[in-house]
Copies of this chain bind each other. A is one copy, B any other.
Amino acid sequence: MPGEHRSAENEGVEVVLDMLRSEGNRVTTSRRLLIRCLIEAKSHLTAEEIADDLERRAPDIHLSTIYRNLDELERLGVVSHSHLGHGPATYHLSTKVHGHLVCEDCGVAIEAPDEIFSQLALEIMEKHDFTIDTHHFAVLGRCGPCQSLLASTDPASKETSR
């Protein structure tokens, strides 16, 4: 059961709220709940999922408010969003940033430590003068189970990804 007062979550919420205050932004119920939701979230959440979550505590928080607040928090650097496939974007705290490996078949999202990309980053920097950002878009592909399923079902794989 999520904590009540003075929990680590509440502390984190306050830190972010202070950032908002110091930029002249106002602290509102929806913002408080949104930040708390993101801190407590174990996984990446779409705006819709956040809305569903917040609705349980405050029924009238509108999706557009969530989008606006997410944008605001993203401007502050507190929140990041990623595109894990064709559907909606997902949002999470920047402190939880990492790369993603997303299966094109089953949709599972594997979190990949940043180190795994460092060699690639270096090489791309040298050869293409380009600084990669491995967080914003997922690296798509196929997870082990789906890969073997594919191999057994359709040996002369015709490539149907979408």
Given the interface contacts A101-B124, A124-B116, A158-B77, does A133 sit within 8 Å of B129 by beta carbon?
Answer: no
Interface residues of A, count at CB 8 A: 40
Q: Which residues of B are found within 8 Å of A49, using beta-carbon distances? A: none
A147 to B131, CA, bound (A): 8
Q: Per a CB cutoff under 8 Å, which of B132, B144, B147 touches A140?
A: B132
In the A-B complex, the 6 residue pairs with the closest CB atoms: A129-B144, A132-B141, A133-B141, A77-B159, A136-B140, A120-B120
Given A110-B130, A116-B127, 15 new contacts (CB under 8 A): A75-B160, A101-B130, A104-B133, A104-B136, A116-B120, A124-B139, A124-B141, A130-B143, A131-B142, A131-B147, A132-B139, A132-B141, A136-B140, A136-B161, A137-B138
